[in-house]
Structure 1
């Protein structure tokens, strides 16, 4: 090739290289091309549903997302039904779901063939706490009143919105143990979500319910059919739960936090993960989110995808020990 030809080739190659770099950069900047399916793996009214609808609303009101986040409820199996559906949608960057300790606990108890390693961690968002509820006219005024009754009559039942061996069961079992009972003796009745559990409490089908504080706050207050006996936080929460005493204030040395976050379909593209990480980071800084968070008694507890994934692995080790003590660990 002559010197003149080489110069002409170089002149032509420069804009082509620039175009290739621009195209590559644009490819890395992924954004949704359609509505994002945001799944709550339970009936309306529970903790997952509350997180999904709160996040979707704030993203819309703050005009942060290019596309709508469509809240979808897929109840059943303590989350297992939804997880089975999402697991079949590998690589889909438009499908997310709310997650919390059951993504670890339900598989460990043998109630789901899918666990956290089958999905894409996106971000941990908040920490919530457990709360014990009774009917407004219940004879029980404190946590100790309830557990004294359970000691005398172990047929009395406590309902929860997750499967046996899952989050609500683990939370109340630990509380019972701290209150001097055999954790395995608690007559735990599972329902399909926190909302369903509270409905059954109001119907007189269980003595008490354990659920997430955030999902219960809307059911409490003047004129409510329900009343809170205690909350698992180390200090009293704000907002509508400021009057609820902690377990520790009542002489039961026990706390339990319920982290909640977002995961995606298996093998989600890295550029989609990066988009959602940035989106949720921006959301946490908005006034709309902070107002909703405080009203629900949540605490921000953000972790990015990589950190959240490592945290989930640690949770699996911790919960394996608890389930083993309850005799619920799948062998």
Structure 2
């Protein structure tokens, strides 16, 4: 009887849905921004699609994600259940903050999404076009304040490149860095900065509501202007695309890394994730494994070159 009871328990146990892991995902930024949105979207889809039975999100903001990255790397060595989201912003922040902890100290898993930049102004602003904004920038670079993400991140790089393409010394730009998308949005809506720059998804609802005016958007990886004639003669030709990634803890075995990667391969193909991409307006730039690691190395090298060019890194 005892053996029969144990056998029944065992059979019931193996009949239950098998989840590969329970995950804790760190979003190394304040709530409301792109990394937080990415982490919570992963949480939703991984649970909905049965990839994980339980996913928690933890916010650790500061210094372009480098505070969270350092904490993640030091506290999770060998933990296959710990994940962190990051991306192009973090690459720049590591360089500009001279962070002792880099993406070499974690286990890159996959590039998840790409998002195009948008430049907005308050609806009440006298700036109607990108041409107006560039004219102000040329007349007095310091008088134009730009609100965006962390120093050295995608937004900062884009503003520096816009300045350079407009014939303005990139080191003269007045860039105001915010640690979270919610803080930046409040400053833009409140007129505390001249213009805001970020992924369009962070501004979309305010643009549709008529609170913000989009003066430049992007297509593919090139910033273009809503009214193309506004940039005639302004020589603005800038190529920037933000991307986001997920990494696992350092010290994983090859088998653990493969298991985490398999979960994200499944996620990337799921109907739930494809719906998230559509809803958020994120481009599907999924790339995993060795191919992603190789691309990441190229991106780090290229970003260092850009940051030196526009004076953000010595």
Q: TM-score range by the shorter chain?
A: 0.7 to 0.9
2:222–2:240 CA contact under 8 A, matched in 1 = no
State how far apart, in whole Å, the 2-side matches of 1:69 and 1:126 are. 20
Q: 2:114 aligns to what SS in structure 1?
A: strand
**Aligned residue among 124, 141, 150 for 2:137:** 150
* 1:324 aligns to 2:308 (yes or no): yes
**Aligned residue among 292, 297, 302 for 1:313:** 297
Q: 1:123 aligns to what SS in structure 2?
A: strand
* 1:80 aligns to 2:61 (yes or no): no
State how far apart, in whole Å, the 1-side matches of 2:19 and 2:256 are. 6
Aligned-pair CA distance for 1:111: 4.1
Q: Which runs of 5+ in 1 are unaligned?
A: 1-28, 238-243
TM-score by length of 2: 0.85
1:143–1:230 CA contact under 8 A, matched in 2 = yes
Aligned-pair CA distance for 1:274: 1.7
**Aligned residue among 139, 148, 153 for 1:160:** 148
State how far apart, in whole Å, the 2-side matches of 1:106 and 1:321 are. 14
Q: 2:197 aligns to what SS in structure 1?
A: strand
Aligned-pair CA distance for 1:131: 1.0
2:221–2:240 CA contact under 8 A, matched in 1 = no
Alignment match, 1:215: 202
Deviations 1:195-215 (A, max 9, x none): 211111112211111111233
Deviations 1:49-100 (A, max 9, x none): 1111112112222x23232221211111111110111111211111111111
Aligned-pair CA distance for 1:30: 9.3
**Which structure has the greater CA radius of gyration?**
1
Deviations 1:203-241 (A, max 9, x none): 2211111111233324331x342222112333899xxxx
1:248–1:298 Cα change, 3 Å: farther
* 1:245 aligns to 2:226 (yes or no): yes
Q: Superposition RMSD on alpha carbons, in Å?
A: 2.5
Alignment match, 2:257: 273
Moved more, 227-236 or 64-73: 227-236
1:219–1:236 Cα change, 3 Å: farther
1:325–1:98 Cα change, 3 Å: same
Aligned-pair CA distance for 1:123: 0.6
2:116–2:220 CA contact under 8 A, matched in 1 = no
State how far apart, in whole Å, the 2-side matches of 1:236 and 1:190 are. 22
State how far apart, in whole Å, the 1-side matches of 2:269 and 2:205 are. 24
**Aligned residue among 38, 41, 66 for 2:28:** 41
**Aligned residue among 266, 282, 289 for 1:298:** 282
Alignment match, 1:123: 110
**Aligned residue among 149, 158, 178 for 2:165:** 178
Alignment match, 1:135: 122
* 1:66 aligns to 2:55 (yes or no): no
TM-score by length of 1: 0.81
State how far apart, in whole Å, the 2-side matches of 1:283 and 1:182 are. 44
1:83–1:114 CA contact under 8 A, matched in 2 = yes
State how far apart, in whole Å, the 2-side matches of 1:248 and 1:90 are. 53
1:253–1:261 Cα change, 3 Å: same
Q: Which runs of 5+ in 2 are unaligned?
A: 1-17
